């Protein structure tokens, strides 16, 4: 069986810097903080150059040297395609701003970018002999966990808030997870997993409580840099729940700079939240490094309804170091952006993706995003998973067809 050329040296506590051996099962560090995977970047840079990527398949595993899986037989794949960067020229004209690109992550397996994190976490779980995984989820992570685990013969238990979008609950259960709805938020569901893991023999796959989902999400940074000719955009707007993607991309840019593939320019990272659940925005504005638990969280954008994030300081550090900011938008603005993007650009965003567009529009007005900046928005899931409010009409075929009426609708 083919061995991947891998360069993992150890894991490191993101808070204290304490190191832990690779190739063993880990959750959080002793300090209760996320672990980051570290690589021998010197050896990595000698083993691969940019041109080596050219002949490889357009999929996530093209970056295998940057990833932790040691043996190719352990890779659990469902077709993790490179996702397109779609220019939104009409919106750019309308707003009179710089180039707008939308990275459409809805094309990934299970219809969301959670597939990037879970293909990695489940592949590593397989490599390290895990037999049963459990997770609290607002929907998409659970769906990706269920799919990849079923493929890898790993048992799964998934816990969702009771008002998780119906389609998410159904796809999780349909793809083989034992699925439970609880009358609380994702952090309450996280407590079910945390308190039960010893007795139940579960591996806790909560956001950032295992080290490898970040590595999977890191590929967003590698991929967008490669797609832009090893340049980064001026601004990245990221809908932020647990923040895995923002933290992962930030790590990707550091690793790429360390091996000389990009320069020192970084995008300004903007964490977008909903005004009904904005713990990171509050901490950003108050100048603190940790965020308080958000009470009574509510927003139609379920993927970013995360009242407490264990990686809060990693999100806030990246946002601040990049010269970016954190911003909240209203559900009304999310709905308006959702509808407007679909009608003008033909791009069906998810509500969380729409939140990034709403934030762009808002911040072009305040001037925190400049009119000449090249901006990248993340659409994190397919819009087809979410309810759409639309105007349509019925026709009674027992009556003569009324073309005059059809002509009047708009």
Ligand X SMILES: *Cc1c(COP(=O)(O)O)cnc(C)c1O
Residues 341-370 that bind ligand X (CB under 6 A): 350, 352
The stretch near ligand X (CB under 6 A) out of 22-30, 171-179, 242-250, 327-335 is: 242-250
The stretch near ligand X (CB under 6 A) out of 68-76, 150-158, 234-242, 341-349 is: 234-242
Burial class (CB in 10 A: 0-12, 13-18, 19+), 265: exposed
- x/- mask, ligand X, residues 258-297, rule CB under 6 A, reads ----------------------------------------
| Nearer of residues 40 and 317 to ligand X, judged by Cβ | 317
Q: Of 6, 123, 140, 164, which one interacts with ligand X (CB under 6 A)?
A: 140
- x/- mask, ligand X, residues 291-320, rule CB under 6 A, reads ------------xx----------------
Q: Of 156, 175, 207, 219, which one interacts with ligand X (CB under 6 A)?
A: 207
Query: Does the protein bind ligand X through residue 211 (CB under 6 A)?
Result: no
List all residues 6 or more positions away from 131 whose beta carbon is below 8 Å from its beta carbon.
154, 155, 201
The stretch near ligand X (CB under 6 A) out of 35-43, 190-198, 235-243, 332-340 is: 235-243
Q: Shortest distance, CB of residue 176 to ligand X, whole angstroms?
A: 19
Q: Of 119, 179, 240, 362, which one interacts with ligand X (CB under 6 A)?
A: 240
Q: Shortest distance, CB of residue 309 to ligand X, whole angstroms?
A: 8
Q: Which residue is nearest to ligand X (CB)?
A: 303
Q: Are 43 and 7 in contact (CB under 8 A)?
A: yes
Query: Does the protein bind ligand X through residue 242 (CB under 6 A)?
Result: yes
- 180 pairs with which residues across the strands? 159
Q: Shortest distance, CB of residue 70 to ligand X, whole angstroms?
A: 25
Measured in degrees and rounded to the nearest 5, phi and psi for residue 245 equal -70, -40
Q: Shortest distance, CB of residue 260 to ligand X, whole angstroms?
A: 28
Q: Shortest distance, CB of residue 350 to ligand X, whole angstroms?
A: 5
Return left, alpha or beta for 323; rule: phi > 0 is left, psi -120 to 50 is alpha, else beta.
Answer: left
Q: Of 340, 381, 382, 383, which one interacts with ligand X (CB under 6 A)?
A: 381
Q: Shortest distance, CB of residue 21 to ligand X, whole angstroms?
A: 27
The stretch near ligand X (CB under 6 A) out of 4-12, 55-63, 128-136, 238-246 is: 238-246
Q: Of 14, 29, 83, 112, which one interacts with ligand X (CB under 6 A)?
A: 112
Q: Of 241, 307, 324, 383, which one interacts with ligand X (CB under 6 A)?
A: 241
| Nearer of residues 69 and 354 to ligand X, judged by Cβ | 354
| Nearer of residues 193 and 380 to ligand X, judged by Cβ | 380
Query: Does the protein bind ligand X through residue 383 (CB under 6 A)?
Result: no
**Residues binding ligand X: number (CB under 6 A):** 18
The stretch near ligand X (CB under 6 A) out of 29-37, 155-163, 241-249, 325-333 is: 241-249
Q: Report residue 90 as tokens.
A: 């009409």
Rule CB under 6 A: which residues touch ligand X? 112, 114, 140-141, 207, 239-245, 303-304, 350, 352, 380-381
């Amino acid at each position: 069986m083919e061995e991947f050329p891998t360069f993992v040296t150890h894991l490191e506590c993101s808070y204290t810097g304490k190191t832990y051996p690779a190739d063993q099962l880990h959750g959080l560090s002793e300090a209760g903080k996320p672990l980051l995977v570290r690589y021998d970047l010197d050896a990595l840079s000698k083993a691969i150059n940019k041109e080596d990527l050219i002949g490889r398949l357009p999929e996530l595993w093209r970056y295998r040297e940057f990833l932790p899986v040691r043996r190719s037989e352990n890779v659990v794949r469902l077709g993790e395609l490179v996702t397109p960067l779609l220019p939104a020229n009409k919106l750019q004209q309308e707003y009179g701003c710089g180039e707008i690109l939308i990275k459409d992550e809805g094309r990934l397996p299970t219809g969301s970018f959670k597939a990037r994190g879970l293909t990695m976490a489940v592949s590593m779980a397989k490599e390290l002999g895990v037999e049963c995984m459990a997770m609290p989820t607002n929907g998409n992570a659970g769906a990706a966990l269920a799919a990849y685990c079923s493929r890898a013969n790993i048992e799964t238990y998934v816990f969702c808030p009771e008002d998780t979008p119906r389609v998410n609950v159904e796809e999780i259960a349909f793809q083989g997870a034992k699925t439970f709805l609880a009358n609380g938020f994702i952090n309450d569901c996280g407590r079910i997993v945390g308190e039960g893991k010893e007795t139940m023999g579960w591996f806790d796959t909560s956001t950032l409580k295992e080290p490898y989902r970040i590595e999977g999400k890191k590929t967003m940074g590698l991929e967008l840099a490669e797609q832009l000719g090893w340049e980064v955009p001026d601004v990245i707007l990221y809908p932020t729940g647990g923040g895995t993607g923002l933290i992962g991309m930030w790590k990707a840019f550091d690793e790429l700079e360390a091996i000389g593939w990009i320069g020192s320019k970084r995008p300004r990272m903007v964490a977008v939240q909903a005004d009904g659940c904005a713990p990171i925005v509050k901490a950003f504005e108050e100048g603190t490094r940790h965020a308080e638990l958000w009470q009574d969280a509510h927003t139609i954008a379920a993927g970013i309804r995360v009242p407490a994030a264990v990686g809060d300081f990693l999100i806030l550090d990246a946002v601040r170091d990049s010269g970016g900011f954190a911003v909240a938008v209203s559900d009304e603005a999310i709905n308006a952006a959702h509808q407007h993007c679909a009608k003008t650009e033909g791009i069906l965003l998810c509500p969380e993706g729409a939140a990034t567009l709403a934030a762009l529009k808002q911040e072009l007005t305040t001037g925190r995003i400049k009119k000449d900046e090249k901006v990248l928005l993340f659409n994190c899931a397919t819009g087809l998973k979410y309810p759409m409010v639309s105007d349509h009409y019925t026709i009674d075929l027992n009556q003569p067809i009324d073309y005059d009426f059809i002509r009047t609708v708009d």
